[in-house]
A and B are shown apart, each in its own frame.
Chain A
């Protein structure tokens, strides 16, 4: 048997194992909350175990090729097959989704958001995990689409049921917005299928044959995919669902959304849109780059205008994903390497920032920046972690964020030949200015909430001063419950913190994987 097809069961098991957990949980009564949590956590851990086993089996010398490939009949009437595989781009994202799910499960152990019901909450999370993992291993467009959409519903309900005060609006917006993008994307997929002779939905087949489509048609098909993926990323101006969704989502939802879900869009660009439609990609690249740098500056300005910590972090995603998209738009291996690294780094860092925001909210029942102050004094460990993530997020070298940001800026100096150098060099300078704005909003946030003296309303011992704050669903005893990082939080966060340092100090752990896989894609577009 071909070495690339050995052990091809691991991917299917790794992807669908969470559903087995869901099945088990269905038969456990709702009131057995601890048991529900235990089953969910064990399932997530077992899934991660399969993931780690995948890591040991992976052939790192051939990271540029699809491994663990499996292909069987599925919906033969539309020539779609169950076709999966994993290469150096998919692997880190696939594993990232598993790690994040486990950490979120651990965090959920004592942080089930109101109105409770861990059974439904955790089941949704497991379904979500299947959708995320499946998206990254799909080698068939229909399969990809199914997984891509599978992600949508659990997240919709997570926001809609467990979200904040304005959850209905936010979840509806999230759902409709993404659905709209998906519809156009599906049309584009169908058009691509018919234009390549209606032979197959297999991604390798379409990559091989997509380039033969007439350029004008390619451009239109690309437009459909672009909207589908750009909404997910999200790129300016399709980002407006994101701040609302993030702000309203429960902490767990925000973390998963930021850490993994946003990457589905950028992954789609790299895996599907660009290699399948190379001519269109070259046509679109300058515009994608333009929207990317607008996103960088615009997202940063949005951050500066925020008064809510979580919303600020949400807006920062728009800026950071702008760097990722800028890297992709250069269509060079430098740029795409930076983009994939940036995806992982953003997942770790922004995921972590949302965890911290969630914990601040738990303790202070507010995320209003003006009301928070002196965190370093009251909850020193939490504030130090926030400071660390802020530094990582603004691209401090030695931490993971730098390797997504700087190489992306670097790559813009020299885009794929045929693209306008002048245009991209202007983008480079604008993006570099974005790093200053990033420093501004992040440090400003940190300075305002971590430095200084704690506000009297959260002073601790006196309990009469804050009777009038209307935290409808919390009793007043919680006001005095401002404690530092708990054990569950430490367990859930430490892996992310280690990852941020590890990939920052030894970036080649990832670059070594990504580079060959990206090179394979760049050859498709003539790089």
Chain B
């Protein structure tokens, strides 16, 4: 193999049916959606069977494609560029260019495909029980299935327009699912807020796509034969040295604004906690594990654009790391003052998305993508566990302080899965979160972003603390409120009558298998998924890095690159040899990983194109890992001790502390009011635009613009009357009279709605305008 590669220029990469037909993965749920909408209510399981089946089929296709991709990677030489499997069909054309729709399949898209299809399948199965008897059961499964179709489409997207298609469909489904119980005003408001906030970010998506298209199109057409929307084209263009600094920076910043909105980053994160108004499976699927990572995915997808546009590696700070870092801390702080278990998890999600963004911003591409992967499992599990509690123990309440407590005895499976996932989220060795989160923190520091490494450690401490508090309130102490069997108020109303009272007479108990089996599967992955990329155990364990991380290799064979099918060329000469040593930051530090360094991302290749920037991996050190695990354990311990004092022993020192100490009270109020961001947006921006500004514009419309029109009409009528009385009618053009007469005639035939004066005025106005126009023409010639 190796020998062949050096003599035969084109080492053919293996492919397979699933890889070549990955575009079917989103098509399956899309078709299922249509079937559910039209025939769902007539089916025995009200359409839910179609949803579940389509998701399982998508999962099979995704896993099949992933296995074939692994084959493709394993069959390639060490220094070979692994071409993505790209296919494209004409979708629309304009200005003489054809724009496609198709698939761009590589390690990144396959990772997310598998995650989305997998979590979607489990959540749909869980929903069979959780939503049983819901009055819009069929609609729920239709929306859930359409969501998956949208997300899968975004992930396989070959170009930006296709990506936008999936992106917006997800937004629509998010709207429909948050507002699923739209009878209640709070739910429909939350739905509107989510759609509206992300849509605000989408200004950036539209603008950024436009900027990049026009900047890149001629280069991509010439070098790769693809449009300036193409993912592959944009990636190669960004690293080609062709783009002007301004264009790519503006494009990257604009796109990043969209990511801020979609992935709940500061300052547009405020919609995500409100989105918890939706049913819990929705929170689990859309608002924690899949949809909200779309922004992170976009940054990872077009990484070369952000790499160049944001100047990653260029300095110790850039927009992405800054936003990510701020998000980690401010969201984690908010999680401490929540009493609703889903809100704690929501802020935790925001905070974890901050980790992913920060990682991408600091050049830790692989750890960030791996964190998408692991986070999906444990966060989905946590949400589903919260749902299990509300379903079987707390009578549809999510209030930890009021309606939970002591549940570990009643719900052993839910409790165990919760604990495993919590440990994973906190990043305790050897749970999944450790392998991804710790890698992010480690690499961020390694790449020269030391400040953000500290932010990451602070975030880890806070995560451990707020999760311990939530765990204590939920599962320890004595049962309170609804869990203690007290009659519950009407929390369950929105679920429908069937749902609401079914459990009224029961105490807290474990949920049934449709709920616990998905929990156990997810908990298993929360425990074990880290092994897919277990850096601490040596290079042979870094499977994800090998399969997923795009190789930074200069591809010289343009013709084959343009075809983009199954060929890649090892650029033996390019690697290392051409790279000016001085320009490589951290070149001396312990570099490990299979492939040698390339010039990509640091300077322009003289010949050929780059598809991915050269990244680096921090060498794993047990000492660093031990430090972060200790920080986490200390956080848990402190939080545990305070929780016991505060919630069980009702210690006089802690209870009411925030009302006694002025400074603490201030901080507490600041947090409870979510930094007043919602006030700013709703009271200032939305109300400002919707009320004074819109009203003022409308006032101008009615009184000034229309006033001019009405005034002109009045004046014309006066003048016309005067002219009509004083000037001989015969002076007026015959044709004008004629047309007036015709109009009057027709009017009389139909119905004398108006006095016949309309036609007179019309005719005269017409004449006046004609004369005025003629005068203007004559004057100007």
Contact = CB atoms under 8 A, between A and B. Distances in A.
Contacts of B747: 157
A232 to B, nearest CB: 15
Interface in B747-781: 747, 750-751, 753-754, 758, 761-762, 765-767, 769-770, 773-774, 776-777, 780-781
A414 interface: yes
Contact of B196 (A186, A220, A440): A440
Contact of A304 (B183, B195, B690): B690
A211 interface: no
B156 to A, nearest CB: 15
Given A153-B746, A304-B694, A515-B95, A176 B183 contact: no
B672 interface: no
B682 to A, nearest CB: 12
B773 A224 contact: yes
B765 A301 contact: no
B210 A409 contact: yes
Contacts of A397: 161, 164-165, 168-169
B497 interface: no
Contacts of B203: 429, 432-433, 435-436
A216 B779 CA distance: 12
A173 B754 CA distance: 12
A172 B758 contact: yes
B753 A171 contact: yes
Given A153-B743, A186-B770, A515-B96, A172 B754 contact: yes
Contacts of B93: 508, 511-512, 515
A240 interface: yes
A508 B210 contact: no
B195 A443 contact: yes
B200 interface: yes
B766 A305 contact: no
Contacts of B161: 397, 406
Nearest to A440: B196
A440 B690 contact: yes
Nearest to B92: A507
B164 A187 contact: no
A77 to B, nearest CB: 14
Given A220-B777, A443-B196, A176 B754 contact: no
Contacts of B765: 176, 179-180, 183
A428 interface: yes
B interface: dominant SS? helix
B319 interface: no
A171 B743 CA distance: 14
Contacts of B582: none
B126 to A, nearest CB: 26
Q: Quick one: which of B96, B210, B751 has the most chain A CB within 10 A?
A: B210
Contacts of B750: 120, 157, 161
Interface string B188-208: 110110011001101100110
A180 B769 contact: yes
Contacts of B766: 179-180, 182-183
Contacts of B698: 301-302, 305-306
Contacts of A8: none
Interface string A486-512: 000000000000000000001110011
Interface string A386-403: 000001000011100011
Interface in A337-369: 337-338
Interface stretch (A41-49, A79-87, A446-454): A446-454
Contacts, number: 197
Given A298-B697, A410-B209, A398 B165 contact: yes
Contact-residue size bin, chain B (C-beta under 8 Å from the other chain): 35 or more
Contact of B169 (A398, A403, A410, A515): A398
Given A157-B750, A180-B766, A216 B96 contact: no
A332 B769 contact: no
Contacts of A482: none
A59 interface: no
B96 A175 contact: no
A413 B769 contact: no
Interface in A445-471: 447, 450-453
A191 interface: yes
Contact of B762 (A175, A187, A333): A175
Contacts of B780: 216-217, 220
A237 B767 CA distance: 23
A56 to B, nearest CB: 23
Interface in A218-255: 220-221, 224, 237, 240-241
B441 to A, nearest CB: 36
A435 B777 CA distance: 40
Contacts of B695: 305
Contacts of A447: 179, 188-189, 191-192
A439 interface: yes
Contact of B705 (A161, A240, A402, A439): A240
B667 interface: no
Given A409-B206, A428-B207, A443-B196, A220 B776 contact: yes
Interface residues of A, number: 81
B709 A240 contact: yes
Contacts of A187: 769-770, 773-774, 777
Contacts of B753: 157, 160-161, 167-168, 171
Contacts of A240: 701, 705-706, 709
Nearest to A337: B94
B538 interface: no
Nearest to A397: B165
A4 B694 CA distance: 51
Contacts of A419: none
A355 B465 CA distance: 56
A440 B213 CA distance: 28
B705 A237 contact: yes
Contacts of A179: 762, 765-766
Contacts of A161: 750-751, 753
Interface in A397-446: 397-398, 402-403, 406-407, 409-410, 412-414, 428-429, 432-433, 435-437, 439-440, 443-444
Contacts of A176: 713, 758, 761-762, 765
A475 to B, nearest CB: 24
Contact of B697 (A301, A412, A428, A519): A301
Given A183-B770, A334-B95, A452-B188, A175 B758 contact: yes
Interface in B218-269: none
Contacts of B743: 153
A272 interface: no
A516 B703 CA distance: 44
Contact of B94 (A180, A188, A333, A409): A333
A95 B449 CA distance: 61
B95 A184 contact: no
A403 B773 CA distance: 38
A418 to B, nearest CB: 16
Contacts of A391: 172
Given A301-B693, A428-B210, 9 more contacts: A176-B758, A302-B701, A305-B694, A305-B698, A398-B169, A406-B164, A429-B203, A443-B196, A515-B93
9 contacts: A153-B746, A161-B753, A171-B753, A183-B770, A304-B689, A397-B161, A429-B203, A444-B690, A507-B92
Closest 8 CB pairs of A and B: A187-B773, A183-B769, A305-B698, A304-B694, A301-B697, A451-B182, A451-B188, A397-B165
Interface of A: 120, 153, 157, 160-161, 167-168, 171-173, 175-177, 179-180, 182-184, 186-188, 191, 216-217, 220-221, 224, 237, 240-241, 298, 301-306, 332-334, 337-338, 374, 376-377, 391, 396-398, 402-403, 406-407, 409-410, 412-414, 428-429, 432-433, 435-437, 439-440, 443-444, 447, 450-453, 506-508, 511-512, 515, 519
